Amino acid sequence: MAVSITEALDIIDTNLTPLDAEIIPIEVSVNRVVAQDYIASFPLPRFNNSAMDGYAVKVSDASSKVSCSEVIYAGDNPQMKLEKGKAIKIMTGAPIPEGCEAIVPIENVTGENDLITLPSDIQHNGFIRMAGEDIMKGKAFLHKGDVINAYTIASLASQGITHVTVTRVIKVAIFGTGDELRPHFEKIEAHQLYNSNSPMFLARARSLGCDARFIRSSADTLEALQDAITSTLDADIIITSGGVSVGDKDFTKEAFTNLGMDVLIDKIDIKPGRPTIVGKLGKTVVVNLPGNPLASMVNYELFVRAVMRKMSGRTDSYHATVKTKMKEDFSVRGGKHAVVLGRFNGEHFEALKPQMPGMVSPMQEADGFILITPEVKTLAKDSLVNMLPISWELSANIREDLFSS
Ligand code: AMP
Ligand code: MG
């Protein structure tokens, strides 16, 4: 029985679990998902230090002339003590000396070298960076399920962490099904068709951080399909296209169930892409998408991406939407939960025309898509819609309403 889009996403969320973890150098960890909390083992800054090139002073010396004969540089370990009536020259990042109550920036003093006049307004602790004001010792500065970016690496490096525990990369295996298909690097006859889905699925899986490979497409027989499946069982996710509808040679589901797949989702109430199947074959998650390229693509964006996010262990594993407005009136047939692909220019969503399930060319134009409910017949110019982006990665840690009405 067909399930709704929301139910399908719920089934994926509740039935799949993150992969196991591995330890990798932080330098190569961008876009990976952290598999444990990281606690600061010391404060940052580690010691009170000067925020400016300036002078370490006493607050009570404001407006006075003070003498200065010493300098502290970043990297020094000063042992001296600051006395009233004196200043110690200090550079940005240098530890403040004992007795220092504030730093006065160089540009705020007058006079030169060993005799300077301090300004009238000196705030207690002014221009001092306090130990722990950035990260407190004992604080979790990175959480299980966070995605590492370049700036996360700064936090890790600042704690002297060389290696990070992350969910391992998802291994994806892809194959197409169909007697008519030939690989894009071979010669074909007029009645044959290039397999465009497999290279597309592969490229998308890689752009989403997976380790993906595809094998030759399978002929439309149970034996050929079962052979293809058997050769991909080491994958974490198997993605196929074609052979899931009601055609005489649509054996994909039967081949997978013969080999022991438990079906989690059998058809989704979505147009295009209703025959989509999601299952589990041992630990391997299987997604059988329809053969029609655009139908397979929208279901990949909706469901395969959800599978990958969930298996990656990221906390923000749910689809997120951008609130935008229709650029022009757009009519739909209505009566179905449907997907509309479109361009997004930062302000408006422009539905792509034409867009049919079997087409290839509209896909590369799409920045995102909207989901509409059966009641919707027209989307008027300027009406608000919720777009799920394709051109960039956006996800949420709570379920959002994905539909536009
Ligand atoms: P199917 O879902 O097997 O009935 O296929 C539906 C339509 O998609 C047919 O026109 C197929 O020729 C086409 N198709 C199936 N697989 C692919 C593929 N890998 N690349 C491009 N088109 C495909
Ligand atoms: Mg087919």
Q: What is the pLDDT of residues 153-188, one digit of tens each?
A: 999 999 999 999 999 999 999 999 999 999 999 999
Query: Region 98-125: what's the mean pLDDT?
Result: 95
Q: Whose CA is nearest to atom 3 of ligand 1?
A: 242
Q: Is the pLDDT of residue 375 over 90?
A: yes
Q: Is the pLDDT of residue 113 over 80?
A: no
Query: Is residue 275 lining ligand 1, measured as CB closer than 6 Å?
Result: no
Indicate if the pLDDT at residue 405 is higher than 90: no
Ligand 1 proximity of 54 Cβ (cutoff 6 Å)? no
114 or 242, which is more confident: 242
> What's the pLDDT score for residue 46?
97
CA-nearest residue for atom 5, ligand 1, is 291
Predicted pLDDT of residue 112: 76
Question: Residue for token digits 């989901």?
Answer: 371
**Is there an atom of ligand 1 within 6 Å of 49 CB?**
no
- Number of the ligand 1 atom closest to the C-alpha atom of 180: 12
Is a pLDDT exceeding 80 seen at residue 202?
Answer: yes
How many whole angstroms from 362 Cα to the centroid of ligand 1?
16
CA distance 194 to 176: 11
Asked if the model's pLDDT at residue 78 lies above 80, the reply is yes
Whether 95 has a pLDDT exceeding 90, the answer reads: yes
pTM over 0.75? The answer is: yes
Q: Is the pLDDT of residue 383 over 90?
A: yes
Here the contacts of 353-357 (C-beta below 8 Å, separation 24 or greater) are 355/294, 356/294, 357/272, 357/273, 357/290, 357/292, 357/294, 357/295
For ligand 2, the distance from its centroid to the CA atom of residue 355, given in whole angstroms, is 20
* Most ligand 1 atoms within 8 A of CB, residue of 250, 267, 292 to mutate: 292
Hey, what's the torsion of the CAs at 294, 298, 300, 302, to 10 degrees?
-170
Encode pLDDT of 208-249 as tens digits: 999 999 999 999 999 999 999 999 999 999 999 999 999 999
**Separation of 365 CA from ligand 2 center, angstroms?**
26
The rounded Å distance from CA 177 to ligand 2 centre is 6
Here the contacts of 274-282 (C-beta below 8 Å, separation 24 or greater) are 274/2, 275/244, 275/245, 276/8, 276/244, 276/303, 277/244, 277/252, 277/253, 278/8, 278/11, 278/12, 278/303, 278/307, 280/15, 281/229, 281/233, 281/238, 281/256, 282/233
Asked if 19 contacts 236 with a C-beta cutoff of 8 angstroms, the reply is yes
Determine if ligand 1 sits within 6 Å of the CB of residue 192. no
User: Distance, CA 181 to ligand 2 centroid (Å)?
Assistant: 9
What CA–CA distance (Å, rounded) separates 394 from 108?
46
Tell me the C-alpha distance between 97 and 93, whole Å: 12
Q: Which of 174, 175, 181 to mutate to test the pocket of ligand 1 (most atoms within 8 A of CB)?
A: 181
Give the pairing type, strands 237-241 and 262-266. Answer: unpaired
Mean local confidence (pLDDT), 53-66: 98
Distance of CA 292 from the midpoint of ligand 1 (Å):
5
Please give the pLDDT value at position 89: 97
- pLDDT, average across residues 127-149: 98
